[in-house]
Chains A and B, each alone.
Chain A
């Protein structure tokens, strides 16, 4: 029994003791006529799952538990940072789900009793379930960067969970003097939205190019390569003078001093392995792990992510609990919004089949991810996935990256990127 298992075992036993008294108060716990699904987390995965369960079987009683009243999408939040889009345009609520008959509870889940099949909240409520879907997104490994924590992140934002920190970072960029330095520190693998930090650099470079042309972007990266690497490098050369003395963007890879050790918020200095770097605006995106509740509920492996069965997304740690989205180990699928949306539909179909005593259907999954390098220059990566021999696999020959630069194609990809945003957000929240 490892550390996590022992802790979750203790949690489970105390939770079981507590539920035996709780059950008598819950009107839904008696009888088995209505099947109940409790969804932990109102992000991309959780909301999509709730909607598609209702679409497949409206009789299932679905409850989504999420502390926040609104959800800000991480995707397209980089366009808020560049000023191309408002924060309101990436804010979504839960009225769409309510209209479909989904119960929305604004509370924080602080325990899941896997044996008793009950979810418990900070507000003291208990929710019994037949199937539980956990979609908590990511959490940060705060202890990996000296001097950086949740409090410091209020002034030196990660802005990697969109919302107030996106606004903070935008304000800091707006008030920065022309000629200032914006320093970004992307995380090590694996992390949410692999092209995200590099689209962010691109978007902010487009803002600097138009409004603050003397300003610079310094990226201190622990990695030596990243998603859509060739396309970003090519785009940065085309739009931002990358590789020249006048380049807006400078990228330092891990092997050449990109790894950072600590940050001093007072002097706005980041300590690298060799040198200190001072900047006007700093954006640190720390290393990541599954959302907190995944740990509390004993759903994580020793790497801090949740192993699942790819056909149903049922946890390999606890029965009747499914994990989808960034927290799940669904490789070769990336941790992306589209992947979470796609996984949620597969999970929803499996859950409905299991609740009704049927056979779980053969899954199909897709990831499609757009990045906008500059106005009129969109790029994408896509992949189709199948389920074979108990594993999620890439369909051979499918997917891949945008081809060589062609002005007409890139302009279309930007339009399709914005269409993607409209359609996926409506597919989730609408």
Chain B
């Protein structure tokens, strides 16, 4: 885990020199990123109820996600159509733009009793990669804490329907679902929704 992070960090530093300037003739990260605001909120912090916030996520996670949409490898309603509008350079620009903005938790209701159970489930099954209670975007983990609940539900449903996931995640998910069932997953969503 630790070594992986060090490698990732050095890669990020190496690519930083490209981050500020726009590619020759292309649009800047802010220009590109501002077009997302109508659905994902100003600067990528969504007011929900379903569209996810994309501020503060790691550059690699952003790039991987957009590339997966672009290639049609990740299921989506609209993002597979939109991601095709951007070059690899554009996507890197946007990734840098959103990685530089602080993620804000969505103001949503949560079942606190379920959230309490969900906290334990998170610790046991998810914390190792989604660190600090799911607030971390390090190691290319998606930010879970404070993310909009319907989005978390949709994403989980897609994973269960066969969307590709990291090997470790697949193993953990299987174990979680076997032991705690759908209720356990719901407790987990409530935990993330309750995080401010």
List the interface of chain A (C-beta within 8 A of B): 52, 338, 341-342, 345-346, 349, 361-366, 368, 380, 382-386, 395, 397-400, 402, 408-409, 412-413, 415-416, 418-420, 422-424, 426-427, 430
Contacts and interface: CB of A to CB of B under 8 A. Distances in A.
Nearest to A349: B31
Contacts of A419: 39, 46-51, 148
Which 3 A-B residue pairs are closest in the complex by CB-CB distance?
Answer: A384-B85, A398-B85, A419-B51
B41 interface: yes
Interface string B33-66: 0111111111000111111000000000000000
Given A362-B27, A418-B49, A423-B51, A382 B38 contact: no
A363 B84 CA distance: 17
A181 B77 CA distance: 35
Contacts, number: 121
Interface of B is mostly: loop
B183 interface: no
Task: Indicate the member of B32, B81, B148 with the most A CB atoms within 10 Å.
Answer: B81
Contact of B38 (A383, A409, A424): A424
B77 A409 contact: yes
Task: Classify chain B: how many residues form its interface, as a range.
Answer: 20 to 34
Given A345-B35, A362-B25, A384-B82, A423 B50 contact: no
B18 interface: no
B163 to A, nearest CB: 13
B35 A342 contact: yes
Contacts of B35: 342, 345, 364-366, 384
Interface string B2-40: 000000000000000000001001111001101111111
Given A418-B50, A419-B48, A384 B31 contact: no
Contacts of A400: 81
Contacts of B82: 366, 368, 382, 384, 398-399
Given A342-B35, A345-B35, A368-B78, A427 B27 contact: no
A349 B30 CA distance: 10
Interface of B: 22, 25-28, 31-32, 34-42, 46-51, 77-78, 81-82, 84-86, 90, 148, 150, 154, 157
B39 A362 contact: no
Contacts of B85: 366, 383-386, 395, 397-399
A430 B38 CA distance: 12
Given A368-B82, A418-B50, A419-B48, A402 B41 contact: no
A416 B42 contact: no
Contacts of A364: 27, 31-32, 35, 90
Contacts of A415: 49-50, 150
Contacts of A395: 84-86
B186 to A, nearest CB: 17
19 contacts: A338-B38, A346-B31, A361-B22, A361-B27, A361-B28, A362-B25, A364-B32, A380-B77, A397-B84, A398-B86, A399-B85, A400-B81, A402-B78, A408-B157, A412-B50, A415-B50, A419-B46, A423-B40, A423-B41
Contacts of A430: 42
Nearest to B40: A423
Contacts of B22: 361-362
Contacts of A384: 35, 82, 84-86
Given A362-B28, A423-B41, 15 more contacts: A52-B34, A349-B31, A361-B31, A362-B27, A363-B31, A366-B35, A366-B82, A397-B85, A398-B84, A402-B78, A416-B77, A419-B48, A419-B50, A420-B39, A427-B37
A416 B50 contact: yes
B21 to A, nearest CB: 12
B34 A345 contact: yes
Contacts of A380: 77-78
Nearest to A344: B34
B25 A427 contact: no
A422 B157 CA distance: 24
Nearest to B24: A362
A422 B48 contact: yes
Contacts of B150: 412, 415
Contacts of B40: 423
B127 to A, nearest CB: 28
